Amino acid sequence: EAGVAQSPRYKIIEKRQSVAFWCNPISGHATLYWYQQILGQGPKLLIQFQNNGVVDDSQLPKDRFSAERLKGVDSTLKIQPAKLEDSAVYLCASSLERGGTTEAFFGQGTRLTVV
Amino acid sequence: GNSVTQMEGPVTLSEEAFLTINCTYTATGYPSLFWYVQYPGEGLQLLLKATKADDKGSNKGFEATYRKETTSFHLEKGSVQVSDSAVYFCALRFNAGNMLTFGGGTRLMVKP
């Protein structure tokens, strides 16, 4: 079974530029998450989708971050404009359903460096 | 709010040594508890979990017991291998929300 796919693996941009990350979850997984992992810290949830609807985006800096999940499958996370403090690994995860004890599977992440 | 606190690393051990990585949590209610592992260059992988008090999760020689009275979920392994070198994350989740709250991670380095 294919895992969660993310691209690109690495991205370096200058501050104030824009960047987008892409995630393809495991086939059939209804729930999709984006986490931000700053170096030396644990991942922090940015946004959670159930199919193509947003369940939780309370931690998403909406003045610069946006995310969408068209057709309830692939998702993109965008930062515009980027700041130095956005340097982090952006992890996408998916799970079969919301609730219960369903395991979340993580992609390898996109490492963003803002210079 | 909910939070998870882990011992800071790095933890450096010799092969076959005993491992303990401490994890405590603060939460309203009774969450499920998890340990995730991140090997170099790879994504987070679920190592083990426990869903209620006194449950013991185990996998690949690792164990952790859900202690409600001490709000802890310490990770242990009796004899570590070089291949166990990774970053370990403790996390909690309430079933209804399915969102994971992670600790800061503990890097384990095992030397031959």
Q: Give the pLDDT confidence of A63-115 residue by residue, as tens digits.
A: 999 999 988 899 999 999 999 999 999 999 999 876 555 788 999 999 999 99
- Do B91 and A42 lie within an 8 Å CB cutoff? yes
- Amino acid in position B86: A
Measure CB to CB from residue B95 to each of A42, A91, A101 and give the nearest one.
A101
- Do B102 and A44 lie within an 8 Å CB cutoff? yes
Q: Is B106 on the interface with A (CB under 8 A)?
A: no
Give yes or no for a cis peptide into A25 (omega within 30° of 0).
Answer: no
Residue B91, C-beta contacts closer than 8 angstroms, at least 6 positions apart: A42, B4, B33, B34, B35, B36, B100, B101, B102, B103
d(C-alpha B4, C-alpha B18), whole Å:
23
Could you list the pLDDT tens digit for every one of the 112 residues in chain B? 889 999 988 999 999 999 999 999 999 888 999 999 999 888 899 999 999 999 999 999 999 999 999 999 999 999 999 999 999 999 999 866 678 999 999 999 999 9
- Amino acid in position A86: D
Measure CB to CB from residue A99 to each of B41, B43, B95 and give the nearest one.
B95
